[in-house]
Structure 1
């Protein structure tokens, strides 16, 4: 088999792979992308874009039911959800983004191979093409942007449940009906976003969480506030509970989920089960051992701070190398690669710092979970600050004028600062448009502003940003 050689080869077309491919192609390098499913990666096809689109439908249903709270009445007050239309809207928006990925690669002159790639030897790969046949390719530099997929826990009885009723973060978005009772295994991002969404669409929802709190990465008080919000929405939550078995019931539409809790036993009859218990990297089929590329026990590729693997000329991007699995972090991998490989091709107007060697160690990770209200955070958590002289401010969103005016007072703000220098060390907003408020504080942190700079700022009234005048009055 003849080998086609490229300057650059990208395996996977996610949120770092695609811009990397376009940048190298525009710089005159012969570049190809290998993708086995859909161009654009998880975010565009089965992640951020479709989930947030559906969450918007859920919020529309939520506000429609709450119309009377605002003095607005429509019909008899009931809300009918057309799940087929919700799915159609989601598919249409995904199609728009996916077609944009296709056009972008084509315009840049990137060759696209649709198929499954695995290493044969040093920077040489075999691609099993989706439309039949194989192709052997090689490159001077290879970037692995293969992403992750939902994990599937081993639970006695799970395989006996109708597969159409056992869902993951991808298949749940293809439902054409609203579950009567959705049982969610997992209290992280995926579990909470989908749990609240389908509760708003009309399903009964039960969340079973193994850990002692929801969203385990968050401080306990934030997690408790989130728990209160979900229970207010009518969602049943069992914490410190481990699913032990699943079995059929007399009613073929339902199955029984049993879980063990230190204080009581849980048994819930559900119509659908969402497995939101984590994700695993798509590295197992790459034959990484052919190059001696090291991976962690979970299968993530080991990289240095410049994203290079243990094999010469091979780099890993995005979720495949572990760390925070966020689209914006994957895109930042592109920034690192572009700067380190193509700084001479960057515009003359680019700031000097952006053309120096860049590594992951300079990154501070913001993130936002799209429950309603949103949960957004930047900087350090309480567990990172033990032994440090700090002050912490907490303020309920019910103290924020704009939140009250919109009748969205649920949640809280929390900020931690260095007690001596005034440096803002961490900030969380569980509240309406929490991601936007967090981004203001992140910008202040990037600019080296102190908490008193935000307190003294003149913010437009009435905005959510205006709350940054008042938050600091609760420092202690």
Structure 2
């Protein structure tokens, strides 16, 4: 029996990420009294330590690359361009502040939203505690996101995560990255362009192993040409402090045997974990899987009626766009009598190295592993007029088509504009139309996109 007074709300939203924030405003606009809880900063991962800051840094790194590659296009740029990380960070901080302040102002001015800053946890069935207050509601929405996974053995090592690396004021002399996946690659290329020496250590035999081998190999080669050093097949990875304040990574590498790599900074980029450990979900009966992700159905409801999980913590996608789609599913099903489902969405994402990777659906490798009857389209960027004119011919585009239904099952566009061009293919997939729709379309010249119809004229059997 609780002796403390329990405050009653129509809904409680825990976490202010890309699903929680729009949901709070939507619920409030429909006249609901909402308790909004956030322990750290408005806007969640994407805004504060994810997409917004990293893409800001990627843009600065791109400027640096352009300053060093003028000669190829007949532009003589005097040597001496150098990156000022203090200024780059200040620009990033200002961009974030504007968005965070916008959310804070919106919350403050809304009479239907009661804001609580602090860590939330369940005290009982549908009773949430925060800052020694108890709140209850028939509907509770959990949007607590994820954070960097820190493996055992790094407790006494001065490591960086995707979050703390964004607070550096000086460019690392030698950045050692453990993890050759999306986060490690973006930071690796970015800091190499800004002037750091970069070594990326990966346990697997290839970087981003879920992608087609051609994608992994192309990105690795592009980054190696920019000076990034890769150590693949690295078993027994460990690290320790060295006497000069830097770090020493010890690896047993497939190529060279046991070696030591000395660096000034260490970035751990070995995956993410959901922020569910402190929620005390057992008090309300909500089930999680062995990795800590909250289990939800197709409408994002947990095993407890009225409790929902949105965003990275539900394991149904680890992206800003999937989190925002979670919000849309909840809001439209609740207020517009729709029947939107998680299973309706098509997997899509980008990798924002340069040139960028745009991905949708399955890869050629997956089609092979599943023994699917498919047709493959393939075109190197070196055959695309616009890429040649831009002087950016790295990469390729590839498409997987179901041989029987003629529907597109997946696509990979690695090359200049790939992160934007992929949306044309995504739209055809959502329209559930044959690949022939694009093949027979007329695209503007001279663009990179115009080579997609050309590629589709000559599909080959896998």
1:107 Cα shift? Answer: 4.5
The answer to whether 1:466 aligns with 2:453 is no
- The DSSP-based 3-state class of the residue aligned with 1:57 is helix
User: What is the rounded CA distance, in whole Å, between the counterparts of 1:231 and 1:302 in structure 2?
Assistant: 40
The answer to whether 1:57 aligns with 2:55 is no
> Which residue of 2 is the match for residue 147 of structure 1?
145
User: What is the rounded CA distance, in whole Å, between the counterparts of 1:443 and 1:64 in structure 2?
Assistant: 36
TM-score of the superposed pair, with normalisation by structure 1 = 0.92
1:248 Cα shift? Answer: 4.4
Given the alignment, which residue of 180, 183, 192 partners 1:187? Answer: 180
The answer to whether 1:258 aligns with 2:244 is no
> Which residue of 2 is the match for residue 94 of structure 1?
96
Given the alignment, which residue of 166, 169, 187 partners 1:176? Answer: 169
Question: CA offsets per residue over residues 279-314 of structure 1, 9 Å max, x none?
Answer: 111111111000111111111111111111122211
* Equivalent residues of 2:17, 2:43 under 8 A apart: yes
Question: CA offsets per residue over residues 29-83 of structure 1, 9 Å max, x none?
Answer: 11121000111111111111111111111111111111222211233x2211111
Q: Mapping of 1:2-401 within 5 angstroms?
A: 2-75=5-78, 77-108=79-110, 109-128=112-131, 134-155=132-153, 158-161=154-157, 163=158, 166-249=159-242, 252-265=244-257, 266-343=259-336, 355-385=337-367, 386-401=370-385
C-alpha RMSD over aligned residues: 1.5
User: What is the rounded CA distance, in whole Å, between the counterparts of 2:254 and 2:207 in structure 1?
Assistant: 17
- The DSSP-based 3-state class of the residue aligned with 1:137 is strand
Question: CA offsets per residue over residues 162-215 of structure 1, 9 Å max, x none?
Answer: x3xx10000101111111110101111110000000000000111111112111
1:246 Cα shift? Answer: 2.0
- The DSSP-based 3-state class of the residue aligned with 1:18 is helix
* Equivalent residues of 2:211, 2:365 under 8 A apart: no
Relative to 1, partners in 2 of residues 1:8 and 1:83: Cα closer, same or farther, differing over 3 Å?
same
The answer to whether 1:424 aligns with 2:408 is yes
- The DSSP-based 3-state class of the residue aligned with 1:154 is coil
TM-score of the superposed pair, with normalisation by structure 2 = 0.95
* Equivalent residues of 1:229, 1:411 under 8 A apart: no
User: What is the rounded CA distance, in whole Å, between the counterparts of 2:116 and 2:275 in structure 1?
Assistant: 18
- The DSSP-based 3-state class of the residue aligned with 2:279 is coil
User: What is the rounded CA distance, in whole Å, between the counterparts of 2:50 and 2:287 in structure 1?
Assistant: 27
* Equivalent residues of 1:179, 1:203 under 8 A apart: yes
Q: Provide structure 1 residue ranges, at least 5 long, that are not aligned to the other structure.
A: 129-133, 344-354
1:11 Cα shift? Answer: 0.4
1:383 Cα shift? Answer: 4.4
Relative to 1, partners in 2 of residues 1:284 and 1:247: Cα closer, same or farther, differing over 3 Å?
closer
1:159 Cα shift? Answer: 3.8
Worse-matched range after superposition: 42-51 or 380-389: 380-389
Count of residue correspondences: 453
1:243 Cα shift? Answer: 4.5
1:358 Cα shift? Answer: 1.5
- The DSSP-based 3-state class of the residue aligned with 2:11 is strand
Question: CA offsets per residue over residues 319-377 of structure 1, 9 Å max, x none?
Answer: 0111320000000001111122111xxxxxxxxxxx42121111112111111011111
Relative to 1, partners in 2 of residues 1:65 and 1:263: Cα closer, same or farther, differing over 3 Å?
closer
Question: CA offsets per residue over residues 256-290 of structure 1, 9 Å max, x none?
Answer: 21112334324211110000011111111111000
* Equivalent residues of 1:243, 1:257 under 8 A apart: no
* Equivalent residues of 1:149, 1:281 under 8 A apart: yes
* Equivalent residues of 2:247, 2:266 under 8 A apart: no
